[in-house]
Amino acid sequence: MSQSTQTAKLMVDGPVHGRGPWHRYVFTGIVVLLCLWVLVPIYLLVVNTLSSPADVNAFPKRLVPDVNTESVRFFLNFAGVGQALWSSVKVATLTMILSILAGAPAGYALSRFDFRGKGSFRVLVLMTRAFPLPLLALPLAVMYIRVGLDDSILGLALVHTTLALPFAVLITYSLFSGIPIELEEAAWTLGCNRLEAFQKVILPLVLPGITASAIFAFVISWNEVFAAAVLTIENRTLPAFLLQGLSVAPLHLKFAGGAVLVLPALIFIFLVRKYLFSMWGIANR
Amino acid sequence: MYPKSLPYLLLLPATLFLVLFFLYPFTLVAWQAFTTDTGDFTGEFFQEMATHWKFNTAMLNTFLLVLAVVPFQMVLALYMATLVNGMTRGRDFILYIWTIPLGISDLAAGLIWLAIFEQSGFLNSMLHGLGVIEQPVGFLGYQNKGTIFLAIVLAETWRATAIVLVILVSGMGLIPKEYAEAAEVFGASRWQRFIRVTLPMLKPSLQTAMILRVILAFEVFAVVVALGGTNLPVLMSEVFTWQYELRDANVAAAYALVILAISIACTLVIMWALRVPKGARV
Amino acid sequence: MKSRNILMSLAMATGLSTVATGAANAEVLFWSTQANPPEEAQAMRETVLSGFAAGADFQPSEGGPWLTRIQAELQAGEGKIGVLGSLHGDLIELSDGLTDLSDIDTAGVNSTFLELGKLGTDQQKYFPWMQATYIMAANRKALEFLPEGADVNALSYDQLIAWAKTLAEETGSPKFGFPAGPKGLKHRFFQGYLYPSYTNSMVTKFRSAEAETAWNKFKELWSYTNPGSTSYSFMQEQLLTDEVWVVFDHTSRLADAFNQRPDDFIGFPAPAGPTGRGFMPVVVGIGVPTSAPDVDAAKSLVTYLSQPEVQVETLRATNFFPVVEVALPDDMPDSVKIAGAAIAAMTGSADANPGLLPVGLGDLGGKFNAVYVDSFERIVLAGQDVRTVLDDQADALRKIMDEAGAPCWAPDAASDGACPVD
């Protein structure tokens, strides 16, 4: 790893970082500033979440909360939160797997082959994201009720997969495009067939990137509300279950609910960060 | 070299998904935009949409937002990616922090930024605490469209730059170091190497990131509604209004098709502008 | 590679449980846009519905998913929803998909609301579930700025404007708040309060000279209104943050303020204009869709919800008032006491001029509301000429009334055929 970070440093040049001590301070300063830019809004959400209802409504607001867990406890004790959380995990996991299984081969095909219909396929993939999903929920729900997929984890995961698929296809496409075809050709000349070459040479290189796009699929599914609210009833996911009422909830519950939604995603990204961040490691070949 | 059917086989699972869960319902909805309840073909819904007094405003606002947010966050993400690549220590940690917004939904982001900008929010509290203002300022008041717009741009940039960053960082990781080394040998400056080597090699990633962001930016909605209320109608909020408040699924479908058409057109432009010439592929 | 195994086993676990959740559920699914906030949903489940023997599964939802789901079930001809709960305006549009509830006992139920629930047909399309209305609320701090001689329980629009003006000038910032946000209920103010108070009409005199006066008065009030109002949807929030001191809103959207700081806030009737003190009740109804899995069980839930004790519990849970005759116990929450007194003063005032909710509009209800909201946005927010906008919007209104063929309702005088727009 340390080897790879050394080479990575040399690999790409930015317009910014010089070498003198002065540059060093500026560099560190900018990095810290950008970290604050990301973290401060989240910190403020936490402040509101951990404040008493009176403090949430007060002005001026305190920047350090007088810790009060009333709002958080309300959500933890809310009937059905546990089950909704579990449904969310199941749907998101299925979405993650399905979107990679369907998306990665398509990404590979787009990057490696020229064939008729390639352009149409790319447009179809992009259309999926460019059309407002809530309008599709009605015909989908009618179809689901008719075929018996209604109110099932699988049914919702299928819709979420459709949402995540364009990302999976595009991300894997750019990953595969980044790997020189010569590398595969070299493996073929060494006696590997196409599948073996893919397994031995390409897969190890792109696996971290694929994991990253899987994470993204997970997050997309985790945060999706509308289809979840229409297509599930007893198996409601957490956002559908909680967010439904949030926009009309009193302020302190709004923030606590927001935190409850954000937290699992943060933990998830933290757990899989190794994959997300080892992506540049693939260049160390 | 390979069976002609191989690429099609590889595309089959994804295509099946898209046809069943997108194309089928999409066709039904799109049909509504062109036909009356009795099944007659008509252009009246597009006409009703285009002549409604909010249409032009919504269109303009959407374009302005896309133009303000996407280039800004592309540059920011590119800058962040080069910073990350220049790091020797703490890179994992910094990248984790910078990618946190990846997991935050637009609804949650709207909530967070509303808490900052609202009249009794954190920004006013801070300004008040510093003695800059005596009375809280109504940043999101209806006459302050400029500040509303700025707040939305900030919130959208905050929320959606992480995905661009991830794509660009992974793209940079794929650039063979020999290229930069060769350029260095020939005496290219850092800036020259960035412009002449890194950027061109990054085209596929830039293309991907930009297409994704542009498409999603045209559907910007939750953050706009949270911060702007009804002050800044955008195309997507009009879709919702027509579908669920005015209960006119036909006009809503027409709006949705307009969003689709604009997104696809922009995608084609980006694909063309950032095309990777054949044979020049890495 | 270890993580891959975890993923696989997770996938298998999810696959298995997908199969297992197919089991039928005998509970009646209660699909509602009301009692949507988490606290209210919790109270609905724990106190209101816990006494229903057959069991009810209360699922509140936002308007969009709510409508999409029931439309899908009606289109598919089968579904899970047993009972629908929503506003009069939402149920109007589902009229064709609602089962006749005429065989449910109506003893003690408000007859005006029962009539509304027929949606212009001879069937009981929905049953009244609960009611609310809009009132004014103020922080006690604002009372010292009342114009001389004004009685807060019998304000006129002119006095309200003067009050808002004094408040803005004396405190340094506008202190009147109005729910003009995306989820704010502003259209009902124009339909049920402003128009009846100035024109004694909601539809017919839409573009009259009196209506022009009304809008100009409102514009004047708006100039002393907190400009943040365009993002306000629940005035209890801004009362509690002290952002504004005097507000107009739905009783259930003020409840939190009354309950949290009952000594700081008062409730009082909406103001009066030249043609009386216009106000409008809001009715929430419960209906049974034709696609319900078990119509009899659904009907018994409707009957259950109409019982006086259950209505009182519903009031506690949601801050919506009963639609059946019932004596309220003394231990009601502060919000009920404060709002209840204001409603009594408003409906019992000598100049009371009640309006009814729109009827007979079918799926044009949303466009009907939009006529008023668009007028507001164009006249007040965009500063367009009042006359031009009213003439413009009157055309739209006339088109809607003609298309729906809806006869006039109070305060407009009854009409033969579609309600005319002069």
What's the average model confidence in pLDDT over C318-337? 91
Residue to substitute from A248, A253, A272, A273, interface C, most C β-carbons within 10 A: A248
Give the total residue count for chain A. Answer: 285
Check if B140 contacts C (Cβ < 8 Å): yes
Total structural domains within chain A: 2
pTM of the model: 0.87
Contacts of C260 in chain A (CB under 8 A): 53-54
C311 within domain boundaries: yes
What's the average model confidence in pLDDT over B67-95? 89
User: Is A58 in Cβ contact with C68 (below 8 Å)?
Assistant: no
User: Is A145 in Cβ contact with C73 (below 8 Å)?
Assistant: yes
Domain boundary among A54, A78, A102: A78
| C88 and C162 part of one domain | no
Domain boundary among C271, C300, C330: C330
User: Is A152 in Cβ contact with C18 (below 8 Å)?
Assistant: yes
| A203 and A135 part of one domain | yes
Q: Which of A18, A131, A273 is nearest residue B96 as measured by Cβ atoms?
A: A273
User: Is C226 in Cβ contact with B138 (below 8 Å)?
Assistant: yes
* CATH number, domain containing residue C291: 3.40.190.10
C11 within domain boundaries: no
Q: Which of A11, A109, A121 is nearest residue B175 as measured by Cβ atoms?
A: A11
Six-digit token string for C333: 């929450």
- Residue C26 confidence (pLDDT): 75
A243 within domain boundaries: yes
C13 within domain boundaries: no
Six-digit token string for A25: 């301070």
Q: What percent of chain B has pLDDT over 90?
A: 46
Q: Which residue has the higher pLDDT, B136 or C401?
A: C401
- Please identify which residue in the block is written with the tokens 């259209």: C187
User: Is C230 in Cβ contact with B231 (below 8 Å)?
Assistant: yes
| A127 and A95 part of one domain | yes
- Residue C225 confidence (pLDDT): 95
Q: Which of B14, B136, B177 is nearest residue A102 as measured by Cβ atoms?
A: B14
Minimum Cα–Cα distance from B121: chain C residue: C241
User: Is A170 in Cβ contact with B208 (below 8 Å)?
Assistant: yes
Residue to substitute from C230, C245, C361, C375, interface B, most B β-carbons within 10 A: C230
| A212 and A232 part of one domain | yes
Determine the distance from the C-alpha atom of residue C8 to the mean position of all C-alpha atoms in its chain, rounded to a whole number: 49
Touching subunits of B (3+ CB pairs, under 8 Å) are A, C
| Helix, coil or strand: residue A131 | coil
Mean pLDDT, rounded, of chain B: 88
Q: Count of CB atoms within 10 A of residue C230's CB?
A: 28
| C175 and C153 part of one domain | yes
**Of the candidate ranges B92-106, C79-93, C194-208, the one whose mean pLDDT is the lowest:** B92-106
- Residue A276 confidence (pLDDT): 63
Domain boundary among A63, A78, A93: A78
User: Is A167 in Cβ contact with B167 (below 8 Å)?
Assistant: no
- Residue C288 confidence (pLDDT): 97
A275: containing domain? 80-283
Residue to substitute from A10, A11, A219, interface B, most B β-carbons within 10 A: A11
User: Is B83 in Cβ contact with A14 (below 8 Å)?
Assistant: yes
What pLDDT digit, counting tens, does each position of A213-264 carry?
888 888 889 889 899 999 998 888 988 887 777 777 778 888 888 888 888 7
Q: Which of A54, A93, A234 is nearest residue C10 as measured by Cβ atoms?
A: A93
Minimum Cα–Cα distance from A152: chain C residue: C18
| A34 and A145 part of one domain | no
Kindly list the structural domains of chain B, giving each domain's residue range(s) and its CATH number in brackets, ordered by start: 61-232 (1.10.3720.10)
Give the CA dihedral C130, C134, C137, C143, nearest 10 degrees.
-140
A119 within domain boundaries: yes
Nearest one of B270, A12, A154 to C14, comparing CA atoms: A154
- Residue A282 confidence (pLDDT): 38
Minimum Cα–Cα distance from A214: chain C residue: C7
| C303 and C323 part of one domain | yes
Q: Are C138 and C268 in contact (CB under 8 A)?
A: yes
Residue to substitute from C1, C5, C8, C14, interface A, most A β-carbons within 10 A: C14
- Residue B2 confidence (pLDDT): 65
A5 within domain boundaries: no
Q: What percent of chain C has pLDDT over 70?
A: 94
A2 within domain boundaries: no
Total structural domains within chain C: 2
Can you tell me the distance from the alpha carbon of A216 to that of B22, in angstroms, rounded to the nearest whole number?
A: 20
| C144 and C75 part of one domain | no
Minimum Cα–Cα distance from C232: chain B residue: B229
Contacts of A63 in chain B (CB under 8 A): 122, 125-126
| A247 and A260 part of one domain | yes
| C358 and C391 part of one domain | yes
User: Is A134 in Cβ contact with C72 (below 8 Å)?
Assistant: no
Check if B138 contacts C (Cβ < 8 Å): yes
Six-digit token string for B100: 């946190």
What's the average model confidence in pLDDT over B133-147? 85
Count Cβ neighbours within 10 Å for each residue of B102-133 and write b for 16 or more, e otherwise.
bbbbbbbbbbbbbbbbbbbbbbbbeebeeeee
| C213 and C73 part of one domain | no
| A70 and A118 part of one domain | no
Q: Count of CB atoms within 10 A of residue C350's CB?
A: 8
Minimum Cα–Cα distance from C9: chain A residue: A93
Q: Which of residues 39-78 of A touch B (CB under 8 A)?
A: 39, 41-42, 44-45, 48, 57-61, 63
Determine the distance from the C-alpha atom of residue B116 to the mean position of all C-alpha atoms in its chain, rounded to a whole number: 22
What pLDDT digit, counting tens, does each position of B151-186 carry?
999 999 999 999 899 888 877 877 777 777 788 788
Residue to substitute from B100, B113, B153, B213, interface A, most A β-carbons within 10 A: B100
Six-digit token string for A54: 């009176």
Domain boundary among A78, A102, A132: A78
Residue to substitute from B75, B76, B85, B210, interface A, most A β-carbons within 10 A: B85
| A257 and A134 part of one domain | yes
ipTM: 0.88
C251 within domain boundaries: yes
Residue ranges for chain A with pLDDT beneath 70: 1-19, 274-285
C151 within domain boundaries: yes
Domain boundary among C271, C295, C330: C330
Contacts of A74 in chain C (CB under 8 A): 38-39
Please tell me the distance in Å from C45's CA to the nearest CA on chain A. 9
What pLDDT digit, counting tens, does each position of C195-244 carry?
999 999 999 999 999 999 999 999 999 999 998 888 888 899 899 988 99
- Give residues with Cβ within 8 angstroms of C144, minimum separation 6: none
| A74 and A114 part of one domain | no
- Residue C14 confidence (pLDDT): 44
What pLDDT digit, counting tens, does each position of C15-62 carry?
444 433 333 457 999 999 999 888 888 899 999 999 999 899 999 998
| C177 and C193 part of one domain | yes
Contacts of A203 in chain C (CB under 8 A): none
- Residue A19 confidence (pLDDT): 60
Minimum Cα–Cα distance from C239: chain B residue: B120
B145: left (phi over 0), alpha (psi -120 to 50) or beta: alpha
C93: containing domain? 26-131+282-330
A9 within domain boundaries: no
Q: Is the pLDDT of residue C140 over 90?
A: yes
Nearest one of C408, C48, C123 to C288, comparing CA atoms: C123
User: Is B230 in Cβ contact with C180 (below 8 Å)?
Assistant: yes
Contacts of B190 in chain A (CB under 8 A): 13-15, 18
Minimum Cα–Cα distance from C80: chain A residue: A233
Contacts of B118 in chain C (CB under 8 A): 228, 231
| A125 and A169 part of one domain | yes
Six-digit token string for C151: 């009685």
A268 within domain boundaries: yes
Q: Which residue has the higher pLDDT, B209 or C13?
A: B209
- Residue B35 confidence (pLDDT): 92
User: Is C381 in Cβ contact with B244 (below 8 Å)?
Assistant: no
Most confident range, picked from A178-182, A196-200, B4-8, B74-78:
B74-78
| A181 and A267 part of one domain | yes
Minimum Cα–Cα distance from C373: chain B residue: B230
In angstroms, what is the C-alpha Rg of chain B? 23
- Residue B1 confidence (pLDDT): 54
User: Is C367 in Cβ contact with B142 (below 8 Å)?
Assistant: no
| C395 and C264 part of one domain | yes
| A55 and A84 part of one domain | no
A269 within domain boundaries: yes
- Residue A198 confidence (pLDDT): 84
* CATH number, domain containing residue A163: 1.10.3720.10
| Helix, coil or strand: residue B35 | strand
| CB–CB contacts below 8 A, A to B | 333
Contacts of C230 in chain B (CB under 8 A): 140-142, 229-231
| A168 and A276 part of one domain | yes
| Helix, coil or strand: residue B105 | coil
User: Is C21 in Cβ contact with A53 (below 8 Å)?
Assistant: no
Please tell me the distance in Å from C107's CA to the nearest CA on chain A. 33
C6 within domain boundaries: no
Minimum Cα–Cα distance from B227: chain C residue: C231
Check if B5 contacts C (Cβ < 8 Å): no
